[in-house]
Amino acid sequence: MKEPYLTELPGFIDMDYMKGIADNMLTDEWMSLSDVEALALYTDVKVVDVEADDYLKSIRAKYPKLKSYIKLMKCSKGSWPVHIDEHRSSAISIPVTNCDNTKTTKFFKGGEIAESIYDQFGDKKGLWRSNEWLTYIQNAELAVEHATVMPTLINTKAPHQVTNSTDSVRIIFSWAYDAPYEEARADLA
């Protein structure tokens, strides 16, 4: 059961158009960084300005709770720790490259908040501390696993992790929605 974790949104956005934007943003340097470094140096800094793009601006006009920026994210071979997002309640994941059943988002139920964990984060293993962006969760039970092959609204307040079992890097856009998941789901239906 995918509720209350995710909702697929076929036809939400022109996928070829988004791939064109990504192709203009992707650099060899960005691709060579660890996932953690890429988040800090690129994903959180070099965003798509929705208001500067007429097509994206028209989508935001229809759904004004969409943020005015879109972030490009990568997941290398490995996994991201189970976490909840502190800075957003829901987001639309838009697949760009290498999005198939070998790269999944897993959602969990239960578990306990961890101040810090020693775990894999993409292609880097280390000690990760919960912070203003992410709260790490441990001892949670798998609820659902999903391959993002079309735009998908995700509940970022539910514990989740991203896994990649191949050497090909998964690239997605993430467009935050300024409302809790259930409200976003109703708005976008």
How far apart (Å, rounded) are the C-alpha atoms in residues 11 and 141? 32
- Residue 93: φ, ψ to 5°: -90, 125
pLDDT score, position 1: 60
Of all residues in the chain, the percent with pLDDT exceeding 90 is 80
Average pLDDT over residues 123-129: 88
Full-model pTM: 0.93
pLDDT score, position 41: 87
Average pLDDT over residues 70-91: 93
3-class DSSP state for residue 119?
A: strand
Identify the residue whose tokens are 């960005």: 30
